[in-house]
Structure 1
Amino acid sequence: MDRSADQTAFVAALTDAQLPLRLYVQSLLPGDFAAADVVQQANTTAWGKREDFEPGTNFKAWIFAIARYEVLNYRKRQARDARLVFSDEVEQLFAEDLATRDELTERRHEALRGCLSKLRPQDRDLLMHRYDADAGTLDEFADRVGRSVGGLKVTLHRLRNTLLACIEKQLSPARATP
């Protein structure tokens, strides 16, 4: 048989083996979305080694053996890539960044508490009601205080802007203590 006929027969055998090959690889890598990539790699490897295949032998067994090695190689790469080790300097940078973030969050909370204490009691009550999950609806609060829901929403908007400006002022560098 000539080379062209051999390649045609090889392509036909490879094409016929695709579904069983895919199912085989998926059984070795259950739930792993990379199974299709491993099948493709097995196909590429098989094509590169097509001269090694002996016509008349079991093509499926041959391609499955290639696929098994590709699965093993994939698992080795996954295991190697899963170990992410940081240097001491990187770990130190992470620790410093987290400490800085915690400090900034605490400063923001302190500023918020200070700004809330400057509000009128009825404005604080409105804010506390709005952000308390168990406090009920804004409609109920409006009925209780004798105001319209629309008026309360406008007041809430103004209070949020007032608090934001107050917090930013508290956190500004000019107010920082040495």
Structure 2
Amino acid sequence: MLMSETNRNSSFVREFACHEEAIRAFVRRMVPSRSDCDDILQEVALTLWEKFDEFEEGGNFRSWAFGVARYKVLSWLRDHGRRRLVLDSDVVAMIADVSVEEESHLENQRIAFRSCFQKLDGDDQTLMANAYRQDLKIQDVAAKSGRTTAGFYQWLYRMRQLLLKCVQRQLANEAKQ
């Protein structure tokens, strides 16, 4: 493998890994299910990889990726248009436009959430993460925490409120600066 190809590979992986979460969220807002989102995201990643030579170094990878994702979603909608839960392509285009406009605000929220989440005790982080895992039942997570299911839901509610207040505080502080 040539050094320039190694640099290209590293550069793509670095950019894609940095923006994958935002690209996934962008796609998810326009399709009815997570599995559809996963399928489209694979297509987006493949297209981004295949066309990475066209990407201008130092350019806005996220914006470029959103453009590719938008076309992949529209293509998916065209191919799956007969399904009832699929939005009209005009509606998806409108959602995509709004999503692009809102992305910087959403990214700030994600950064603030990660920061607030990291401030939680390690056990609380694990419990919160387990509460949202698809392969675990909330009753099992509650039992492992030593709480009843109802008690765990109350704890989860309090933790969500704590995180929400932390995120709001952090965003307000950033707005003042």
Q: Report TM bin, short chain.
A: 0.3 to 0.5
TM-score normalized with structure 1 length: 0.42
TM-score by length of 2: 0.42
Structure showing greater radius of gyration is: 1
